[in-house]
Structure 1
Amino acid sequence: MTGRLRSREQGFSLVELMISIVIGMLALVFALRLMSGAERTQRNGMGSSDAMQNGMLALFSMSGDAAQAGYGLNDPLVAGCDTIFSDVSGYTLASVTVGGIAVKPLGPVIIEKEAAGASGAPTTEGENPDRISFYAGSSITGTGTLRLLSSYTSGTRIVVDRVPYGFRQGDVVVVAPERLGTKCALAQISSDPDALAALPAQQTVDVNQGDDFRYNSGGLGTGFGAGISRVFNLGPAASLSFHTWSVANGFLQLRSTDMKGAAASPAAVAGDIVSIKAQYGFDDRAGGNFTPDAGMQVKQWSSTMINADGDGVTGGAGDYLRIAAVRLAVVARSRTPEAAGAGGTCTATTAPLQVFASGTAGAAAVPVKVKLAVPGDSVDWRCYRYRVFETIVPLRNFVWRP
């Protein structure tokens, strides 16, 4: 009896060891699952935080542009005018189609639509990101203060009717006819108007080429009649704010005239942005019901240009005068994708998202389904979580027009 007890005191039996190992393995499995779940929760939380931060940055940047859009471009002769534009730094104006013809209008906001699929046909995955341009000058003398005294046909000298006070060397000017529907031209003043004003001869504005005059090409590119054309000042070239926002490979990008190195090739602004969308807010009240002096009203939201002024031409100059606001949406995604489920399919997001789903006072909603897949990304878009940010910006500078 004593020997038997002594034998049991010397160690554990094989059965006891096996039970201990099983219990330890179960505890380890539970601990690993707990740690894995906590890590997944933390990763999802950080991903949501990144999406919120990037989305808010993108929307804040774009809405800031929208808030100043149209400054200096709000005269009816300039708004929507098909403009001849040249920039040695490589910036190009947004191009849209009016009556089957490509034009480059000046306006507070220009929305360019990208084809939904490779063939241009709509897809069930939703629309591709928009390309959104906001234009603004900086001169407080942005009204048509000069009129052409002599007809312009070619060359670098514009003869005007009086001394060009308020115009300075290096300022950007727009020459516009007093008849809507014809071309405008943008250039840069190359000589000192004050020095020219001292000459006994006629008053002129010169637009010669030179290293300091990036927007000059040796001429205006079209003719302008005497007494029926005006010169508008948009302010110094360094503060000309022509910005174009786009999305490529999951990055929000900006092309800009006033940011060095970003005129021809866009600069990345924020990551993990899969789409940006925009809609015009039109005041399409007819006849005497359209009273812009008493305040503009958004009566219709549209992702594309419409015949808002009822003149039968979609995208005409008068339609740009009817834009009262712009609606913006940014779609951001989490930085880290979630793991696929047991069947190998991700379920973090199961369907394309919709933006602009709610209407506003006096204007019905025009919902837009957004494509979430990023070209070239090997990870299924369903493995990410997304956040949508929206805002409406009244185009106050464009409403306050002469």
Structure 2
Amino acid sequence: MNPHPIPPAMAKAKGFTLVEVMVAMVIGMIGIIIMMQVFASAEGQKRTTTGTGDAQSNGTMAIYTLQRDIREAGYGFNAMNALGCALVLPAPASRTLTQLGPVIINPPTAEVPAGDANTDTLLVAYGNGEGAPEGDVITAINGIQLAVQAPGNFHVGPPADRVVAAPSAPLVGCSLTLATVSAVVAPNVSVAGSGAVEGGTLFNLGNNPRLLAYAVRAGNLTVCDYLAADCGAACTALDPPTCSAAWVPIANNIVSLRAQYGRDTTATADGIDTWDQTTPQFDPLKTQENFACLWARASALRIAVVARNTQVDKGTVTAQAPVWEGSGGAAIDLTARADWQNYRYKVFETVVPLRNLGWMATCTIN
């Protein structure tokens, strides 16, 4: 028998003391703090992983697209009498490009308006025709009918093949006109307005030649097709220029595009000895053949694409801007954006051989 029974009223009043409640609250608050810290850390790691994955995907897409087109550069017109000539384009572009080359780094801004600050632009040209890449000799001319050795390589479509007619040998002041095949009756190919001359060369660029302008605009890698729009007129004169829908984004969060020619400047033509951004230009004291030879000696292109993650961090996460092989150890300039250090970056770079130029005979630069 319990000698000291607890009265019913006191039993109902039994519970936690104030001290116990306060201790429990402290323990709960510590647990919440720990959980919040774990959550914040996990969320930061998630943003980093997601952002890095986005940069990886965007950079891969950008470098793959550029590499694919540059590999084709020069196909269909890889001959000395075509390289470096001006190119007259039909509508809708209706303009004359300064020169025809496989890949032109930073062409005149009237042709490819500058992109974001501290980035390069590219103009890539190639065809998809069935004819010989060195062209087909024009043996006779009767009006718009051009007699060639292999008329079966030309087609009226639809769509019809596009062609350019070049002189028989490199000619100072040469100008090529992109024209359309209207009929093929062996041995003749009918082409109006080609400017062809007997003994010259007819180059078949196929039914879908490409003249693609690339530029980084508003943090995106964009492309414009000169056979679909006038890429030069598609941008305003603002700084940076504002461009129309003719410039199509193909990869997001691309903050830099850099490029260099790999050229052989020696007399022996024994391989690349110089990497630079010097686009071949005609020297009035030298010949057109010498000018074309400068293009023929550009046998590779080195490119770098810098992709940025999508998440901006509150603090500095990139203390030093990335570098690439062509920068000589100098950092790629990303300071056009004030908060550039609050993003993470990944550099994609490669060397793309201009393989279509390698088919031509060696030439001598004098």
Normalising by structure 2, report the TM-score: 0.77
Superposed, 1:266-285 pairs within 5 Å as: 266-285=247-266
Deviations 1:192-225 (A, max 9, x none): 1318x5xxxxx67332xxxxxxxxxxx45xx666
Change in Cα spacing, 1:71 to 1:366, as seen in structure 2 (3 Å) is: farther
Q: Please state how far the C-alpha of 1:298 moved relative to its aligned partner.
A: 1.5
Contact 1:50 1:335 in 2 (8 A): yes
**3-state SS of 2:71 partner:** helix
- Output the CA distance in 1 between the equivalents of 2:38 and 2:182: 74
Deviation at 1:190, TM superposition (A): 4.4
Q: Deviation at 1:270?
A: 1.3
SS at 1:245 equivalent: strand
CA distance in 1, matches of 2:219, 2:317: 18
Secondary structure of the corresponding residue to residue 192 of structure 1: strand
| Equivalent position of 2:278 in the other structure | 304
Displacement of 1:305 in angstroms is: 2.2
Identical positions, percent: 30
Matched, 1:138 2:100: no
3-state SS in 2 of match to 1:320: helix
Q: C-alpha separation between the residues in 1 aligned to 2:71 and 2:35?
A: 53
**Long gaps (5+) in structure 1:** 96-102, 121-125, 152-156, 198-202, 208-218, 292-296, 341-345, 358-364
Residue of 378, 383, 392 corresponding to 2:351: 392
State the Cα RMSD in Å.
3.7
User: C-alpha displacement at 1:367, in angstroms?
Assistant: 5.2
Change (3 A) 1:241 1:110: same
CA contact (8 A) 2:77 2:135 kept: no
Q: Which amino acid aligns with 1:175?
A: A
Q: Secondary structure at the match of 1:75?
A: coil
Q: Residue 38 in 1 paired to residue 42 in 2? A: yes
Q: Is the contact between residue 215 and residue 221 of structure 2 (CA under 8 Å) also seen in structure 1?
A: yes
| Counterpart-to-counterpart distance in 2, 1:313 and 1:32 | 73
- The 2-side partners of 1:65 and 1:368 are apart by 28
The verdict on how the C-alpha distance between 1:87 and 1:285 changes in structure 2, with shifts beyond 3 A counting, is: farther
- Which string of whole-angstrom CA distances, capped at 9 and with x for unpartnered residues, describes residues 124-156 of structure 1? xx96221112211122333332337569xxxxx
Unaligned runs of at least 5 residues, structure 2: 235-245, 362-366
Give the aligned residue type for 2:191.
Answer: D
Going from structure 1 to structure 2, the CA distance change for 1:114 and 1:76 (only over 3 Å counts) comes to closer
Residue 108 of structure 1: aligned partner: 102
1:242 maps to a residue whose letter is L
Q: Distance in 1 between matches of 2:123 and 2:73?
A: 9
- CA, structure 1 residues 312+385, in 2 after alignment: closer, same or farther (shift >3 Å)? farther
Aligned to 1:168: 155
Residues 1:233 and 2:204 are matched in the alignment: yes
Equivalent position to 1:81, from 78, 81, 85: 85
Q: 1:324 to 1:14 in 2, by over 3 A?
A: same
Q: Does 1:63 align with 2:63?
A: no
Mapped to 2, the partners of 1:59 and 1:262 lie a distance apart of 25
* Structure 1 segment 241-390 matched on structure 2, within 5 A: 241-256=210-225, 265-286=246-267, 289-290=268-269, 297-305=271-279, 316-338=291-313, 340=314, 346-357=315-326, 366=328, 369-372=331-334, 380-390=339-349
Q: Which amino acid aligns with 1:108?
A: P
Kept in 2: contact 1:71–1:138 (CA 8 A): yes
**Alignment partner of 1:53 is 2:15:** no
* Structure-2 separation of matches of 1:28 and 1:134: 58
Instruction: Give the secondary structure class of the aligned counterpart of 2:306.
Output: strand
SS in 2 for 1:141: coil
Q: 2:172, 2:287 within 8 Å by CA — same for their partners in 1?
A: no
SS at match of 1:61: helix
Deviation at 1:226, TM superposition (A): 5.2
Partner amino acid, structure 2, of 1:167: F
TM-fit CA distance, 1:191? 2.4
Query: Could you tell me whether the CA contact under 8 Å between 2:139 and 2:149 is conserved in 1?
Result: no
Q: Given that residues 85 and 176 in structure 2 are in contact (C-alpha distance below 8 angstroms), is that contact kept between their aligned partners in structure 1?
A: no
- Give the 3-state SS of the residue equivalent to 1:193 in structure 2: strand
Partner of 2:27, secondary structure, is helix
Partner SS, residue 253 of structure 1: strand
Contact 1:67 1:394 survives alignment (8 Å): yes
> What SS class does the counterpart of residue 354 from structure 1 fall into?
coil
- Alignment coverage as a number of residue pairs: 330
Take 2:280 and 2:75, find their aligned partners in 1: how far apart are those partners?
A: 23
Q: Secondary structure of the residue that 1:65 maps to in structure 2?
A: helix
Radius of gyration: which is bigger?
2
Q: Which amino acid aligns with 2:22?
A: M
> How much has 1:231 moved relative to structure 2?
2.4
Shift of 1:77: 0.6
Task: Tell me the distance in 2 between the aligned counterparts of 1:25 and 1:329.
Answer: 51
Q: 1:91 to 1:400 in 2, by over 3 A?
A: farther
